[in-house]
Amino acid sequence: MTNRQVIAWAGFSLEVPVEWNLSVAHGDTDSGTIALTDLHMGQLEVRWRSGRPRSLARQLRRLVGKMRRLKATVSAVAGRESAWKIDDGRRWIILMHISRRLYEINGPGGAPAEAEIPASFTDTQNAELYRWRVYGIDAAVPAQWKLKKISLLPGASRLEFKPRWFSPPGLRAGSWSMADRLLEGDSLETWATAKLPLVARHPSGRWESLGKGVIFRVAAGRWRERKAQALALWQNRENNCIVWLHTSLPQRRSALTDRLVKAFLEEVASSGGQ
């Protein structure tokens, strides 16, 4: 097991020690905050705010000027444009303006990863699909979709997304820990058939294999089931978890379903899941 992990959220990603976990998350793709903590204390906070590029550049200049007046050490971040590091000994803050977003990354001074985190920070706000990666969850979601629900219970983490504010969730992504205990030697298909209500409720659904993952598809019906459903499952042996993605979209959007499932399986395969 490596000692670094990638956390991806709402159009950005960064590499942090594997012991850091998400403890606070709120907001959406326009503005929000996430905080990462280890067993002992808060280690990192990322805040973001969207706006017009010119207005954000002006805000950044004003903030940096204010910090200089407060006699904090302000320096440009090497290798990045419009990025400033402010350090007052006890804590550090990085202010970054990228495209239509202003980021504030801060953490306690002297943290071991202080120098590495800014270098690993990647902004993907202009991508069509945003990657969401946390607690074993790994999903690509259309950039405009809204995060509806976060459930990070021990053993079962889940994020729900919907295309618009008032629509039902179109995509759920999650992970179940302790895969070896859940599967007890069975294949994903056998286990899902026995344990997952979605699979048990739809005996007419069909299974497909794609790479090392399995997909369960239910076609849209005329009366009751008006949306086609797809459930992709993947066993990540390295982290001993089952990663899953469930889409529930109208049949006419089957191309999007296929794209999301394919992106999911490619991501879990590339992130070390086997």
Partner 1 sequence: MLKWLLGRSSSERERQDMLRAIPVQNPQVERTLLADGRLILRGPTRVDGLQRLVGRGSVLRQFEIDTLGDWVWQHCQGRLTVEELVRGFGGEHAVNLREAEISVVSFLNILAKRNLVAFVVGREKPVGSRRRRKR
11, 118, 136, 205: which one binds partner 1 (CB under 8 A): 136
* CA separation for the pair 274, 208 (Å, rounded): 17
Nearest approach in angstroms of CB 51 to partner 1 is 21
Q: Does 185 bind partner 1 (CB under 8 A)?
A: no
Q: Binding to partner 1 by residue 240, rule CB under 8 A?
A: yes
In terms of Cα–Cα distance, which of 97, 91, 11, 100 is closest to 45? Answer: 91
Distance of CA 7 to the CA centre of its chain: 6
Comparing CB distances to partner 1, the nearer of 2 and 204 is 2
Cβ contact 156:174 at 8 Å: yes
The answer to whether the CB of 16 falls within 8 A of the CB of 36 is: yes
Q: 261 burial class (0-12, 13-18, 19+ CB within 10 angstroms)?
A: buried
Least separation in angstroms between residue 63's CB and partner 1 is 13
In terms of DSSP bridges, do strands 171-177 and 156-162 run parallel, antiparallel, or are they unpaired?
Answer: antiparallel
Tokens of 24: 């606070």
Residue 154 touches partner 1, criterion: CB under 8 A: yes
Strand stretches in 227-266, DSSP E: 228-236, 241-249
**Strand bridging mode 21-27 / 12-17:** unpaired
Query: Which of 9, 48, 121, 135 contacts partner 1 by CB under 8 A?
Result: 135
Q: By CB under 8 A, which span of 16-24, 120-128, 212-220, 250-258 interacts with partner 1?
A: 16-24
In whole angstroms, the minimum distance from the beta carbon of 19 to partner 1 comes to: 5
**Minimum CB distance to partner 1, residue 75 (Å):** 19
Among 6, 15, 23, 87, binds partner 1 (CB under 8 A): 23
Q: According to the binding rule CB under 8 A, does residue 155 interact with partner 1?
A: yes
Q: Spell out, one character per residue from 101 to 130, where the chain touches partner 1: x when CB under 8 A holds, - when not.
A: -----xxx----------------------
The region of 7-15, 31-39, 137-145, 206-214 touching partner 1 under the rule CB under 8 A is 31-39
CB of residue 90 to partner 1, shortest distance in Å: 8
User: What Cα–Cα distance (Å) separates residue 207 from each residue in 139, 211, 218, 233?
Assistant: 20, 13, 9, 11
Nearer to partner 1, 138 or 216 (CB): 138
Q: Which residue has the tokens 């970054």?
A: 96
CA angle 231, 244, 267 (to 5 degrees): 110
Q: Any contact of residue 21 with partner 1 (CB under 8 A)?
A: yes
